[in-house]
Structure 1
Amino acid sequence: MVQDSSAVEFGALGLEVTGVEEVGGEVVVRVQSPGGQAVFCDGCGRRARSKGRREVVLRDAPFSGGRPQQVVWNKRVWVCPDAHCAKGSWTERSELAGPRRVLTERAARWAVGRLAAVEGSVASLARQLGVAWHTMWSHIASAAEQAAASSRRVGPVAKLGFDETVMASASRRRRRRFITAAVDADTGRVVDVFEGRDSADLRKWVSKQAREWVRAVEVVCIDPHEGYRSAIRSLRGDRLRAGTQIAVDPFHVVRLANQAVDRCRRRTQNDTTGHRGRKGDPLYGARKLLLTGQERLDATGWDRLRAALDAGDPYDEVADCWEAKEKVRAVFKTAGPDQAAARLDDAISWCQAPEAAPELHRLARTLKSWQTEIHTSIATRAHNGRTEAANAKIKDIKRSARGFRNFTNYRLRILLAAGQKPRETQPVTKIRTRRPSFNA
């Protein structure tokens, strides 16, 4: 079976298998090109003369069962009979592997597929194939660079999302390094990645993109980050269209309301008990209930929440924050822009009340500052959900490599794994249902 399968695989490349053996637990396949073929010099056109053969050892993709596999290619060497020809001598070429390569093309495709699926790192794949890290990366880099060629690979993007993540944590000798991912908010594919998260970094990235591609962007989805918003505003009418809209992500707006509840709970807890939350404190025991949506609370949950507020919230400030949080959540529960605008005005008015907690006054200022972007998010149904999913994939890539120091390599790995269309896999027939039936 090994001999037959190898003959079929290498026969498609114009090579014939002369032997298959197992040496030290590795499968060794010996191949060569069939004789009797006329080869002509590229320089002068004369028929070349054979100069014998030379063995080249290549590493192939793992064999069935994960066993390592070598390919010993008995390459033919040719020489031009014209002594004055500049071509001299050369070795034959094949689609099996490029010149001066250690891995076969199949092994390179296998490694690229593993990296694209985030099923290993360059170092782990290099160990598995028995080559050095730089050898492994040199084979992968070309495929990764093709993935990062240009923004045109994803086509025109109507909704473009931006979100940052930490590339390297801070230490005594360096500050935290951030990267920002530009993601197609409709498909979730990563368009590009650039270093930094400031307004100047975003403007610099946009200035490098094709003008026609940038002009096709209709909505930019961002978190409530002033650096992104100021950059987009400054680019309107210049690189971006004058009518490009900015939408703020609903998840982060609700998160701001949740943070107001948490801050108020901690402050009230310190004022009433004189210490941080401990087991047995009423508000500390209900900290998760305070952040749970009211539609998800059952009768027991409501009873616990009321009891905690009655016992630990003497001035009803935490209850007011909880009510404000629900009002903010209600803004995004309607598809009608007019009704959403009315609910947002109601939430801002509630937070601006003179007797409201200081956490609500802060939340009101934020909501009022981002009011236009919130309306745009509701009207266009734009959000950063797929951008956050792409960020999760980026973090998986970082964890698989135990972190990155080289931004160029990090960017190529990201675009290889998250910048392409999802790979089509062979459909698998189910052999067991979700609830198998047992015959008595």
Structure 2
Amino acid sequence: KDESRFAGVTTLGVDEHIWHHVSIKDRGPKELTGMVDLTRDKHGRTHARLLDLVPGRSGTVYKDWLKERGDTFRAHVQVATLDPFRGYKNAIDDQLADATAVLDAFHVVKLATQSVDEVRRRVQQDTLGHRGMKNDPLYKIRTILRSGAENLTLRQQHRLAEAIAADQRHEEVHVAWQCAQRVRDVYHAADPATGRALAEKILASFPSCPIPEIARLGRTLKQWADAFLGYFRTGGANNGGTEAINGLIELHRRIARGFRNRENYRLRMLLIAGGLDQPPPPV
């Protein structure tokens, strides 16, 4: 019940968490919503702390939690990071109207990579009439297509070029991969202004792309345009610390071999992930 641990939070992350995998009514919903303090110190470092775990995964759950924190807490939050889940975004818009919502960079790149996978599978079916098999040209480069161009070895570059050249219809896969590289480039730009300019070009061009999967990616990013561009207004705020806390919780859940009582689970995870500590003093 000690609310003092919520003091000083200027950057707030949110993510879902599964605390059990059995269908037992007494345990309530399997999903929890976790709130994490991602506030940076004066050196720009983030010391992520779990603030709370509440039952359910919905915008209403997050909105109610924010409402319970009071006006002072909400007014202090300047940045709210999240994964692309509309419910959480609606809660931020409703309760943290003055904060900048930021769509997590990892998940944006993941969406782009998934689009390339979808194009590869479709072209595979169109050209060979079956799912990928180990000797099929596109199947052999599936891992390469999930990589950044800057990380490819000369051998991998040659394998990519060889697979694309095997059939002129494979060029569609190559174009989709290049589009995904443009999304990655947004987060590797030399400065925020350059990154934002690249992001705006993506928002303007992807929705009209003749490749349907890339057009859908463009429409998705356009729906999230403000949160997508929020990355460049917040010094690169992201939900990475929230994901790290989630990983820590998962580790200790496995070590404990499961919990039966949700409140005990919540308290244990708050102890493990720093949620019952006071915010560290500026250093």
The TM-score, its normalising length taken from structure 2, stands at: 0.87
Matched, 1:219 2:56: no
Provide the alpha-carbon RMSD of the alignment. 2.2
Q: How many residues align?
A: 268
Asked whether the 8 Å contact 1:397–1:413 carries over to 2, the reply is no
Identity %: 38
Matched, 1:168 2:20: yes
Aligned AA (1:341): R
Aligned twin of 2:60: 200
Where in structure 2 are the equivalents of 1:248-397 lying within 5 Å? Answer: 248-311=103-166, 314=169, 316-334=171-189, 336-354=191-209, 356-380=210-234, 381-397=236-252
The structure number with the bigger radius of gyration is 1
SS of the counterpart of 2:51?
strand
Taking the aligned partners of 1:373 and 1:323, their CA distance within structure 2 comes to: 23
Aligned twin of 2:272: 417
Taking the aligned partners of 1:256 and 1:218, their CA distance within structure 2 comes to: 26
Q: Deviations over 1:170-194 (max 9, x none)?
A: 6598996211111111311101111
- In structure 2, which of residues 79, 88, 113 is the aligned counterpart of residue 228 of structure 1? 88
Once the two structures are TM-superposed, the CA of residue 213 in structure 1 deviates from its matched residue by 2.2
Greater strand content: 1
Aligned AA (1:158): T
Matched, 1:179 2:70: no
Q: 1:373 to 1:280 in 2, by over 3 A?
A: same
Taking the aligned partners of 1:410 and 1:175, their CA distance within structure 2 comes to: 13
Aligned twin of 1:190: 50
Where in structure 2 are the equivalents of 1:46-195 lying within 5 Å? Answer: 149-153=1-5, 155-169=7-21, 171=23, 177-185=30-38, 186-195=46-55
Taking the aligned partners of 1:175 and 1:412, their CA distance within structure 2 comes to: 16
Taking the aligned partners of 1:249 and 1:263, their CA distance within structure 2 comes to: 21
Taking the aligned partners of 2:168 and 2:62, their CA distance within structure 1 comes to: 44
Once the two structures are TM-superposed, the CA of residue 155 in structure 1 deviates from its matched residue by 3.1
Which consecutive aligned stretches of 4+ in structure 1 deviate over 4 angstroms post-superposition? 170-176
Once the two structures are TM-superposed, the CA of residue 345 in structure 1 deviates from its matched residue by 2.6
Aligned twin of 2:42: none
Q: Deviations over 1:160-214 (max 9, x none)?
A: 0001121223659899621111111131110111111201101111122243223
Taking the aligned partners of 2:183 and 2:111, their CA distance within structure 1 comes to: 9
Once the two structures are TM-superposed, the CA of residue 337 in structure 1 deviates from its matched residue by 3.5
Asked whether the 8 Å contact 2:10–2:78 carries over to 1, the reply is yes
Q: Deviations over 1:269-310 (max 9, x none)?
A: 112111111111111110110111111112111101111112
Once the two structures are TM-superposed, the CA of residue 333 in structure 1 deviates from its matched residue by 1.4
Higher RCO, Cα 8 Å, sep 6+: 2
Give ranges in structure 2 of 5+ residues lacking alignment: 39-45, 279-283
The TM-score, its normalising length taken from structure 1, stands at: 0.57
Once the two structures are TM-superposed, the CA of residue 335 in structure 1 deviates from its matched residue by 5.3
Taking the aligned partners of 2:105 and 2:274, their CA distance within structure 1 comes to: 25
SS of the counterpart of 1:403?
coil
Q: 1:389 to 1:314 in 2, by over 3 A?
A: same
SS of the counterpart of 2:15?
strand
